[in-house]
Amino acid sequence: MKIRGAVLEEIGRTRPFAQSQPMSISDLELDDPGPGEILVRIEAAGLCHSDLSVVDGNRVRPVPMLLGHESAGVVERIGDGVDDVTVGGRVVMTFLPRCGDCAGCATDGMVPCATGTAANNAGTLLGGGSRLQRSGATINHNLGVSGFATHAVVDRRSVVPVGDDVPPEVAAVLGCAVLTGGGAVLNAGRPGPGDAVMVLGLGGVGMAAILAALSLGGREVIGVDPVSEKLAVARDLGATAVYTPDEIVSLGVRAPIVIEAAGNARAFETAVSATAAGGKTITVGLPSPDARSSISPLTLVAEARTIIGSYLGSAVPARDIPIYEDLWRRGKLPVEKLISSTISLEDINQGMDELADGKAIRQVIMFD
């Protein structure tokens, strides 16, 4: 079938992206779903730093590639062997599917699926190969989703069904920002009763971590970011205190659970230094592969502290998305407040500039 989507033509084009146009809006051919796959009409897709990291070259992927991984839509067709989703039902895309058989899948989310990771790196679906072409040439998939398009064929293991009452923009954000930020708190951090939670880096993932910590109740929730407008948003969400990174250092503010969601080496160092004795530093950001940080191993030992790397919030999407869906439905996780703007597919390059400038929390592309 014919679809329309945003194809990354070349990695590392100079900014502003609105001028260099690393992504082109292209007409593409999409194969029918094969065994174990489904066809989804995309309703909404969020712009995430993981997308930006491919555009700017921090995460090298094969190009040309149809980008987008934080998406939601409606099932339009089902391949052979799929009997647990229904045509017409809404689904959330997840960018690290789990095969269920590898060593990573046996860790309850703490280690990524090896098979899913290999497929993502190769630009294929979990079952192998591409279902996308342009003028007869193969187009690579982004993280098994390729959600910056009107339609997508994905492996059944790359989606989680949600209720029809969940708005598509909320459903999309559940699939990455909430899975990652929420999981950093609930799965990796696991704060004890009354433990304060500090979040450094208040983009979509960091703000989702703020919401997840607030949903637990009965604790101080601290937001940290150099951008004053983001601190104001965190305060509006319910954060009990907000600081700039310099204020954290100068005032000596510390917490037993510290989430680093900024994705840069300096933020990681600040997060480690702000972790209280006996506490946990959870890092979910994706810095440049060349980034390096300097920390004191002695402090880790002397204060019995732990550093945890958490990919996708250490999530098992099929388990966790229904939890977040229920929290949203009960008013304890107001995900819609994370959406700073909605844009069209044609505005995607400019949207990446907004993301790189640190101005946006979550921009969401809405499809007709």
Q: Which tens digit of pLDDT belongs to each residue from 286-328?
A: 888 899 999 999 999 999 999 999 999 999 999 999 999 999 9
Q: Do 111 and 245 share a structural domain? A: no
The reported pTM is: 0.96
Number of domains in the chain: 2
Whole-number Å distance between alpha carbons of 92 and 70: 8
Whole-number Å distance between alpha carbons of 360 and 102: 37
Q: Do 227 and 122 share a structural domain? A: no
The model's confidence at residue 359, banded by pLDDT at 50, 70 and 90, is confident
Q: Do 271 and 361 share a structural domain? A: no
36 close to 155: Cβ distance less than 8 angstroms: yes
> Is residue 287 a part of any domain in this protein?
yes
Q: Do 201 and 140 share a structural domain? A: no
> Is residue 46 a part of any domain in this protein?
yes
Closest CA to 64 of 133, 139, 124: 139
Question: Residue 190: is its pLDDT beyond 90?
Answer: yes
Strand-pair category, 151-155 with 37-47: antiparallel
> Is residue 41 a part of any domain in this protein?
yes
Q: Do 142 and 89 share a structural domain? A: yes
> Is residue 323 a part of any domain in this protein?
no
> Is residue 111 a part of any domain in this protein?
yes
Q: What are the pLDDT digits (tens) for 265-276? A: 999 999 999 999
Q: Do 200 and 99 share a structural domain? A: no
Q: Do 21 and 127 share a structural domain? A: yes
Contacts of 122 (CB under 8 A, 6+ apart): 62
For the domain that residue 64 is a member of, what is the CATH number? 3.90.180.10
Q: Do 53 and 100 share a structural domain? A: yes
Rg (the chain; Cα; Å):
20
Whole-number Å distance between alpha carbons of 117 and 143: 8
Q: Do 214 and 140 share a structural domain? A: no
> Is residue 329 a part of any domain in this protein?
no
> Is residue 296 a part of any domain in this protein?
yes
Question: Is residue 192 packed enough to be buried (19+ CB in 10 Å), middle (13-18) or exposed (0-12)?
Answer: exposed
Q: What are the pLDDT digits (tens) for 349-358? A: 999 999 999 8
Partnered with residue 197 across adjacent β-strands are 221, 257
pLDDT attached to residue 88:
98
pLDDT attached to residue 96:
86
Q: Do 341 and 243 share a structural domain? A: no
Q: Do 155 and 12 share a structural domain? A: yes
Q: Do 278 and 240 share a structural domain? A: yes
> Is residue 272 a part of any domain in this protein?
yes
Q: What are the pLDDT digits (tens) for 171-181? A: 999 999 999 99
For the domain that residue 217 is a member of, what is the CATH number? 3.40.50.720
Domain containing residue 228 = 180-310
